[in-house]
Amino acid sequence: MLKKILGFSPKLELDGSYSPSKMALKMGVSDKTDFENIVYKNYGGKKSKILVIFTEEKNLKMKNGKYFSTGNHPVEALLPMLHLKNAGFEFEIATPTGKSVAFEMWAFPQKDQHVKAIYNELKSSFDKPLELSDFINSSFENSDSYAAIFVPGGHGAMINIPEDKNVAKILRWAHENDLFTISICHGPGAFLSTTLDNQEFLYKGYNMAVFPDSVDNKTPFFGYLPGKMPYGLSEKLKSLGVNLMNTKMDKTVCVDRRLITGSSPLASNELGKLAAKKLLKHLN
């Protein structure tokens, strides 16, 4: 009762899932971002496409059986995309089965005109994305058209995507064709898919910035999550041979070979800048 009075209780949604409490939203969500509207030397080559793998799922089951109302974090997705768009790249939006993209709309920065603009521009693609199997069937022979794969964060990236064999195929395709792979926060959960069918983990020995389990473990106390996570992503990646570059929810970004990662929503702007600069330098 006291937690409810103080605003620490997660909000119960109509479908039975829980979104963050009033206190959690006050502490962790801003109505504007730190996006820097940088003018880049615009890329004009043929490798102009970036495949963005979004989640289509919104409810993540916690250890206590409660569901967290999640999806992709809009800032973690749209800030990097703003930078990449300004650098001259275009996007193909995809979800595992072609269902519409699930966003954490409670985290949407309502007073940020740049974020609103790109969201509205791409909304039709978010509503009707590609199916990953269709992308594989139509685009694997056209790797010369692609510069990168981007897997945005948000806890929704941990629903089904780590167990999706098509995600694994696309990550290996990007790796084999020297494309960049970009991800942030919980997005690197997608990398677990490369261990399916007893395959060797694709990113063993890589340096990465990933959302720390220590923060996920604390958030139920003020009602961000409705319970403890089903598993710890950063520790799981560490057990597979990843070198973690951050211990806090901060602005850490990291490049290792063709992999670019960021640690949290706070790193979204930095990740976008870094990805845009690295792609332009590699391709120009």
Radius of gyration of the chain (CA): 18
CA distance 38 to 30: 21
CA distance 96 to 109: 26
CA distance 260 to 254: 6
DSSP readout, 21-86?
Answer: PHHHHHHH--SS------------SS--EEEEE-----EEEPTTS-EEE--B-HHHHHHHHHHHHH
Let me know: does 129 contact 163? Beta carbons within 8 Å: no
Q: Is the dihedral of CA 213, 219, 224, 230 positive or negative?
A: positive
The answer to whether residue 185 is catalytic is yes
Decide: residue 281, CB within 10 A, 0-12 exposed, 13-18 middle, 19+ buried. Answer: exposed
Would you give the DSSP letter of residue 265? G
- Could you say which of 101, 130, 185, 229 is catalytic? 185
Supply the residues annotated as catalytic. Answer: 185
